[in-house]
Amino acid sequence: MAIATVNPATGETLKTFDALNAGEIEDRLVRAERAYQDHRTTTFAYRKERLLAAADLLDADRDSISRTMTTEMGKPLAQARAEAAKCAKTMRWYANRAEELLADEHPDPADVKDSGAARAVVRYRPIGTVLAVMPWNFPLWQVVRFAAPALMAGNTGILKHASNVPQTALYIEELFRRAGFPEGCFQTLLVGSGAVEDILRDPRIAAATLTGSEPAGRSVAAIAGDEIKKTVLELGGSDPYVVMPSADLEKAADVAVTARVQNNGQSCIAAKRFIVHTDVYDAFAARFTERMAALTVGDPMDENTDVGPLASEQGRSDLEELVDDAVHQGATALCGGRRPPGHPAGWFYEPTVLSGIVPDMRIHHEEAFGPVATLYRVADLDEAVTLANDSPFGLSSNAWTRDADEQARLARDLQAGCVYFNGMTASHPGLPFGGAKRSGYGRELSGHGMREFCNMTTTWYGPED
């Protein structure tokens, strides 16, 4: 795949970039290692000052970087602005809390005495340079939620971003440099996916984090495992959205639309499978379909646009194949199910609701990465839980019920990294985020995510100390 900015609303190639050669990659690895040896010994106050400066710069750049993101991957401009604002907020969150999150821990004196020590301390130390392999769908947020905690912990970072968002990737490196982080603390490598293995195997890379597809996760995990290196993986999702009779149907339907089409439907944590109790199925389906059909598809730079194009022509083709397979096997498109008329250029697809889904259909088990929702009717909570868990993925989940017993059952039995009641799944710096099953392992965000790339060091002091 070429490293290029291709406007998905028009199909026009706007700018291309040469991939780094082996010598240039080596130069950046040298810089990263040199920077780490210095950065790991800096104080939290030093790192905080620079991360807060980065947040201020990002706020000042919000309009320009938002237009860059929209140009490169097609998200509606208002959503791009919200992404940039969220990144600045997360930088400030980590800048102000990192020292507390990584504070030394002092084990119970009785346990220390039993070990024969006078005292012991558990310390969190940086691990080294972390390689981040990141996707295009949230081109700023996915990077910042790794970079902010990594830099505050004393690590350095190398970013291999998706090849269709090179200008956003280069902006992030420049942002941290402008904020005062020394050369080499955070670098963007414009390289193709074929270069990842050699970079990951390099001894100057301590660990890796990847957000992306299941095949990409398998590859990175296998290489890192062979090298005995830590990884955190956030992979695909086919999140259930369970609606029970006690739900506020109007609110559940409104939120369902946003949960399905946010980021043009290209989100791992978007709700994709809508599992509705039979007592409220017809009412929910009518409300949901009406709202989906009313969305405005168009130019993502237009403030009135609800849904922009898919990020790539291949992505739209993959989505069409899933929908066509389902319809061919008997599913009904309650709305959408086609390319919208009036868009001869660009990779647009209508918001779509499919009913009559059965397990033989590909879309029942595969992730639909675009504005396509599947509707299921269930008889009771048992069937809802079984269907929700009938997926190889387990990233997040949503459930709409005001029944405390149902909430307890769903919280216990849904196989996912997150369970959101009466609201939409969203990531927040204060809450750990990650999945189960083939959605990956490890956690991002919160103190849990920050400590993923730290060396938890037990220091033991003998009786004479």
- Say if CB 373 and CB 337 are below 8 A apart: no
Identify any residues that bridge with 380 across adjacent strands, giving them in sequence order.
Answer: none
Bridge-based pairing state of the strands 4-7 and 12-16: antiparallel
Given the structure tokens 């061919």, which residue do they identify? 328
71: left (phi > 0), else alpha (psi -120 to 50), else beta? alpha
Q: Which of 33, 83, 87, 268 is catalytic?
A: 268
Written as one string, the DSSP assignment of 279-335 is HHHHHHHHHHHHHHHTPPBS-TTSTT-SB---S-HHHHHHHHHHHHHHHHTT-EEEE
Q: Is 454 a catalytic residue?
A: no
* Contact in structure between 393 and 434 (CB atoms under 8 Å): no
Whether the Cβ atoms of residue 424 and residue 259 lie closer than 8 Å to each other: yes
Catalytic residue among 33, 72, 234, 452: 234
Closest CA to 203 of 173, 224, 182: 224
Quick one: tokens of 193?
A: 């996916």
Q: Which residues contact 136 (CB under 8 A, 6 or more apart)?
A: 72, 73, 161, 162, 164, 165, 311
Point out the residues that are catalytic: 234, 268
